[in-house]
Amino acid sequence: MKRFALVLLAGFAGYLGYTRMSSARYGISEDAPLGTFEKLDAHLTELGLVKADFRGVPDRNVPASQLMYRYTNRENEYEYVTLLLDRDETLQGTLATYWLGDFGSRSPVMLFGQAHWRQLGGERDPEFEEIDRTRNTTTTEATLPPEGAQGWWRVWADEGQREVRIYVHR
């Protein structure tokens, strides 16, 4: 019984350590509920994503911010993370956009978007609700819990291809 309790305690301690390390990787704190630009910039660059200034509208459902950077996957120019910042470079939101084919994906954009989602209280495998359906496309969405950061995870499914966008904001 003691051995089981020690194993359980060690597992719990490991989980807490991992959670804190992941939060630290993004700079998540009470003052920076989404993380800090400095930490995310360094992390996304370490993932091999190419950073560039971005102007325009990040998504039809995501308003532009005063300062934006886009980090593009070297292997697939259609996969990217957009950081939305105010003039003081305080993180206001992130948008991860990637594609899933029939065989899935392990792109750095997907890994970041899903990990950031989980760090902000989202479930690993959220329950998606259908929000729109056209002849060939079905759109489903999951949302973050109401406390803390806000956001959505949308999937547009069209004949074996799925475009995924994960947006979190203050």
Contact 68, 85 (CB under 8 A): yes
Predicted model pTM: 0.84
What residues does each domain of the chain span? Answer: 2-169
Mean pLDDT score of the chain = 87
- pLDDT tens digits along 126-154: 999 999 998 889 999 999 999 889 999 99
| Amino acid letter for position 81 | V
Question: How far is it, in rounded angstroms, from Cα 108 to Cα 110?
Answer: 5
Q: Is the pLDDT of residue 18 over 90?
A: no
| Residue 12 pLDDT | 41
| Residue 27 or residue 1, greater confidence | 27
- pLDDT tens digits along 88-102: 999 999 999 999 876
| Residue 7 pLDDT | 42
Distances (CA, A) of 37 to 46, 60, 114: 14, 23, 18
At 1, is the pLDDT very low, low, confident or very high (cuts 50, 70, 90)? Answer: low
**With the C-alpha atoms ordered 65, 69, 142, 169, is the resulting torsion angle positive or negative?**
negative
